[in-house]
Every structure is written in C-alpha cells, then in structure tokens.
Amino acid sequence: MDDQLLFALGIRMQIDAADDLVCVGVAGDGRAGLDLVRRERPDVVLMDLRMPVLDGLAATAALRDDGDTSVGDVGRDAPRVVVLTTMRHDEAVRAAARAGAAAFLTKDARPDVLLATVRAAAAGEITGDTEDLLREFGSPPRGIDLDVDVLAVLTPRERETFLLVARGLTNAQIAEASFVSEATVKTHVRGVLAKLDLRSRLQVVVFAHERGLVRS
C-alpha cells in the first residue's frame, strides 16, 4: 500500500520479477488496502506509513485486529506487515511495532534488501536491515523503569530464546547457539510471543530495547 503510484508500481515490478514472489495488488490508501488484503489474503503486506483516508499505522493495527478475531473474512490468517517509510527516527520504529508490523524498511532500500525483507517476513524472521534500524535507538529512553521480572513468565529456554531473538538472530542461528533443532526454536518463539502478548519478532526486539533487556 502506497499513495505514490510510480513507487508502488516499481515495487510491484521488483516483486513480480522474483521467481518465488507475486504481487496480488496495489492500493493507494489504507482503506482500499484493507479491502484488498481481505479479498486477496496475501502472506505479506508492504505498508507505507503516510497515506490518505487511513494511514499506515491505523491500517496495520486493523490487520492486527483482524488476526486476533476468531471470526470474519481474515481471522488468524492476517498477513505480516512490512512498513515502508522515509523516516528513520525512534518513534516510527516503535509505533510500527506496536501497531503489529513484522519488519521495518526505508524506501531507499536496495531491491535485494526489499526482496530479502519480504521473504524473511513471510518466514517469520527479521532481516539485518530491520535490526540495523533498531540499533539506531540503542539504549532505552531515560527514566524508564528497567523490569527484568517481566520475563518471569517465560521458561528458562524461552527466556534464552527471547534474548537471542531480541539480538536479531534467526531461528537457524538460535538453534546453533542453543544446540537444539529449528523446530524446537519455533516452539520456544511461539511461547515467547504468546506469553508476552507480542505478535512478531520485531515486537520482541523493541520490547527488549525499551525495557533495557539488551543493549546495542
């Protein structure tokens, strides 16, 4: 979804040129985008933050809510959202994550980075580009109450997995570091997301940074 038609069509061409990806449609505003998603049910949505009618954050939150409902056209098959923006400041990253985004990508990203981000989002991973942007805000804001007890609901393995996800490691990297299978890692990640009421690995990263649980 992007209100700049030439930019959106350029993205579509890049995606359709990939052997393993297909663009199911383009929308110029958030409301039209929601209708498109609910009709086509794609795996990944590229979402601009600034759009008319309904902005990208509101549209992302609406897709998140679609995924939380047990009835309706979308249900729990809501897509993973990759937020496209020209902004690189802290609050844009946090707001996108809170709204339910799975990844964050600036509009000047190279085509190979764009495609890698789409593939990673579809697989439930985050890419180095997203992690690089998150490192820009580094330590948590001044005055924050650092509460490590927030992880008390996690098992020891889930806590270890949480911290590795928060550092941007993939499932394969976590499996290697923890000497377990990728299937086991996926189980731990699902547990982390459910117990902390998070919806994506990006939210895990922001959650950890805001609480001072990891440092850049």
In a domain, 216, yes or no: no
The more confidently predicted of residues 144 and 36 is 36
Report CA dihedral (85, 59, 27, 206) to the nearest 10 degrees: 30
**Res 67: pLDDT:** 62
Please enumerate in sequence order all residues whose Cβ is within 8 A of that of 25, keeping only pairs 6 or more positions apart, or say none. 36, 40
158 and 128 within one domain: no
pLDDT at 27 over 50: yes
Q: 189 and 123 in contact (C-beta within 8 Å)?
A: no
The more confidently predicted of residues 88 and 45 is 45
195 and 123 within one domain: no
179 and 123 within one domain: no
- How many Å apart are CA 105 and CA 83, to the nearest integer? 6
**Res 86: pLDDT:** 77
- pLDDT, tens only, 28-65: 888 999 999 999 999 999 998 888 888 888 998 888 87
- How does residue 20 score in pLDDT terms, banded at 50, 70 and 90? very high
**Res 141: pLDDT:** 46
HSE of 56 in the Cβ direction (CA atoms, 13 Å)? Answer: 26
Pick the closest to residue 85 from 45, 132, 134, 47 (CA basis): 47
**Res 129: pLDDT:** 66
Q: Which of 135, 170, 200 is the last residue of a domain?
A: 135
121 and 40 within one domain: yes
- How many Å apart are CA 130 and CA 153, to the nearest integer? 27
In a domain, 59, yes or no: yes
The more confidently predicted of residues 132 and 205 is 205
131 and 39 within one domain: yes
Specify the 3-state DSSP secondary structure of 151. helix
In a domain, 191, yes or no: yes
155 and 128 within one domain: no
- What is the pLDDT averaged over residues 117-123? 90
First to last CA, the chain: 32
**Res 137: pLDDT:** 54
Distances from the Cα of 199 to the Cα of 28, 50, 100, 170, angstroms: 26, 22, 6, 16
- How many Å apart are CA 178 and CA 186, to the nearest integer? 13
CATH code at position 46: 3.40.50.2300
The total of structural domains in the chain comes to 2
Q: Which of 135, 169, 185 is the last residue of a domain?
A: 135
Mean pLDDT of the chain: 81
- pLDDT, tens only, 145-173: 445 578 889 999 999 999 888 887 888 88
- How does residue 74 score in pLDDT terms, banded at 50, 70 and 90? very low
201 and 162 within one domain: yes
Residue 200 structural domain? 148-210
